[in-house]
Structure 1
Amino acid sequence: MDIVVTLYDSQTVSVCLGYRNSSFGKQVTYGVGTVPVYVETADMNNDTHLDLVVSCWYVDHIYILFGYGDGSFDNAVSYSTNLFSFTVTIGDFNHDKRLDIIVSNTYANFTGILLQNNRGSLKNQLTYASGGSSKLRS
């Protein structure tokens, strides 16, 4: 088991790889946008390696860090959302065999969905009214 956490004050995500003896390796940090608040893992680009999807509260972006398969990650790639992105949920929401991302926007009274295109990147966010303080549950 590995540990991935968002570090609010340092604008980073930290990864600690787990060892079989129940200990953890040295913390490795990756820069993301201002105030990262939520992280999910999934194989976003279908290369069999886990990637990190990070939402950041005070910026209008989410970030994906693509995994190399050895516990390390590439630099963050940003995708536009709206301010106050909070929780994210990942799944194939339009049944095209590609992973998509739903983002709750806490103070904006809507939820956004970013569908993946056939080139492996995300399309512009579609928004749906969801009321204030929306938080996703899976």
Structure 2
Amino acid sequence: MPVRQFSSRAFRAAVLGAALAGFGAAPALAEDAPKRIGVELNAVAATDKACRLSFLVENDLDVAIDDLALELVLFDKDGRVDRFVVVRTGRLPLAKRRVKQFDVPEVKCDSIGSVLVNDVSECTGPGLDATVCLDRLAISSRAAIGFSS
């Protein structure tokens, strides 16, 4: 099979055409990405009588969330259930990030081994319910404590 020679100009045109075709596909891929509710355990800090959990919550859905209630389970360092806690985020505007802090009374932060999002107790907004929001959760952590769903 003979090897074809391309001029520098033809080669540049081919590379530019391929690059532009790739850029045209990128927005389509971004539009196909699933919409999510990002919940990040961002920080854990001891207070006088509680352990303060700070969450970064991001609404990437197509609608505002009027209220989101998450049922959290706190596990001790040995992996045993310590307690159940329900936290409410309140309103989460469309395409916005919010930091929410919750004090868990009579808990020492260093006794918490991990936190589990056990369920979405409530999720209200146009076309939303607890099941829809649970399916859209994207959980992450920057804290030393494990955080999962």
Structure-2-length-normalised TM-score: 0.25
Structure exhibiting the larger radius of gyration computed from Cα positions: 2
Structure-1-length-normalised TM-score: 0.26
Q: More helix per residue: 1 or 2?
A: 2
